[in-house]
Every structure is written in C-alpha cells, then in structure tokens.
Amino acid sequence: MTETIDGVVVEATDGVLRVTLDRPERKNALDPPAVARIVGALERAATDDELRAVVLGSSGEDFCAGADWVARNSGDGSRPRTGSIQRRTPVQAHRLIALLLEVQLPVVCAVRGWAAGLGCQLALAADFTVATESSRFWEPFLQRGFSPDSGATWLLPRLVGIARAKELLLLGRDLSGREAAEWGLIYRAVPDDGLDKEVEELVSRLSSAATVAVGLTKRCIHRALHGSIVEAMEAESNALELSSRTADFKEGLAAFREGRSPHFEGR
C-alpha cells in the first residue's frame, strides 16, 4: 500500500524512485516536513545501487505552488528569531535544489498546472522536465514583496540568459509550458493528455541507460558551469577513468562488435 507522509509519497520500483507531491488541497505547496522528506529520499537514493532514475511528480491539478508560507506564518502574532530564514533555508529548500543537481541519477520532472517559486525551481533543477503545454511557470517573489530563493538567480540566467531571467524575476512574467520549452527553460512541452506517456517513455530510456556514465556526465556538466575548460577536461578524464571500468562499458563494446543494441544493467 502506498502511504502519504508529510504530503509526499515516496516509492521505489523497478530501479526508479518516484517522489510524488500529494497535497492537492494546498496546490502541493511544500512545508518544512515535506521538504525534509524529499531531501531524505534523495540522500538515500544517492547511495542506492539499485536505483537508476528519479521521477518527481504530483497529484491534483497543479505541480507545486512553492513554499507554504501560510504554514510558516501561523498568524498567532509570534515572530521568528532574527536570522531564522538565513539559518533554515540552506538545510531546507536550498538543500533540496542542491541535491537534485548533485545526485548522480537522472531526474525527470512532470509538470501540470502551476509550478511557482520553489515549485518552479524544482522543475528547473531536474535534468529533464516535461510539462503540459497549458502549465504555468512563475517566479512570484517580488510580487509578494521579497527576493528570490531556492536557486532562482543561479538557474534562470544559465537556462535563458540574463535579460529573460530579469523579465521572469523582476517583472514577474509567467510562462506557459509551451513558452517555457521554446525559451529553453525546460526539456519539452506536450499536449495535456500526453504528459504521462511522454514521461514514462523518457524514464524507461534513462533507467535502461549506462547509469554510472550518465551520473558522471551529469556531474561534469554541472561542474563545468563554474570552471574553466581545463578544469572541465580534467573532470572528464576522471569520469572516463571510472566509467570505462564498469560492466556497462564492456557491454557497450560487445554490443558494438556484435551489431546489436546494448543491454545496460547500471553496473
């Protein structure tokens, strides 16, 4: 039986970790316990040799409305201690985004409805985000009177450039799934009734790939974003050394010699 804990469902089957935001009555907004549950699942996934891919999805009409500020501000008149946000955010929302980028498994994100604030950053940090054409991506921070978090100012300029990042963050423009794909913000937008099929086909492809090589390549890509080409090639050399010692590498060579498709086992 699948159980929802802290508004999140976590289940692993056939080498795929599926994390589902399951709090539709709050548009899947994430409170600290929900963030902690996802962080824990990703930390465990990072050392689970049986896993080969991660899927981040949701129940209900929307993907994620961001951080649950209603839950954080109870309205009882109490004020958090000075520095509370600065202390907590690095080990909560920021840790979650960092893990999506760091985990050496491909992460697929499925978006329908709204992906706002932290929810938008979850989609941007995934390796492959597939969204419905009618979905909406929005950075509402300045419209609510505060500055962005959860990696928005790092992710957006790298994905769409500085001018468009400012349009999204400073002017608060929201994008449809189709526009997000055209801008290069996400991997692909599909008709609303085609999301599940597209995601499952992508997950099947990634979960049958050479898992070690995929993870090392992902790591090299992210490291290269803030390093020189010399540093990037050094990282590539180290990754090549490791990936060329895997069973999947041997299988890839054998398949090439025999003129057949490889059967990778993630080893």
**Res 166 pLDDT > 90:** yes
Phi, psi angles (nearest 5°) of residue 20: -120, 120
**Res 128 pLDDT > 70:** yes
Instruction: Output the pLDDT for position 130.
Output: 98
Domains of the chain: 8-207 (3.90.226.10), 211-258 (1.10.12)
Beta bridge partners of 110: 130
What is the overall mean pLDDT for the chain?
92
Q: Please state the separation of Cα 59 from the chain's center in Å.
A: 16
pLDDT in tens, 206-260: 999 999 999 999 999 999 998 999 999 999 999 999 999 999 999 999 999 999 9
In residues, how long is the chain? 267
Instruction: Output the pLDDT for position 72.
Output: 55
Whole-prediction pTM:
0.91
Instruction: Output the pLDDT for position 87.
Output: 62
Contact (CB, 8 A) for 66 and 30: yes
Q: Which of 155, 28, 153 is nearest to 100 (CA)?
A: 155
Residue in this structure with the two tokens 């608060």, named with its chain if needed: 172
Q: Which of 66, 190, 170, 48 is nearest to 128 (CA)?
A: 190
Contact (CB, 8 A) for 13 and 51: no
Query: Which tokens belong to 42?
Result: 């990703």
pLDDT in tens, 46-88: 999 999 999 999 999 999 999 876 555 555 556 666 656 656 6
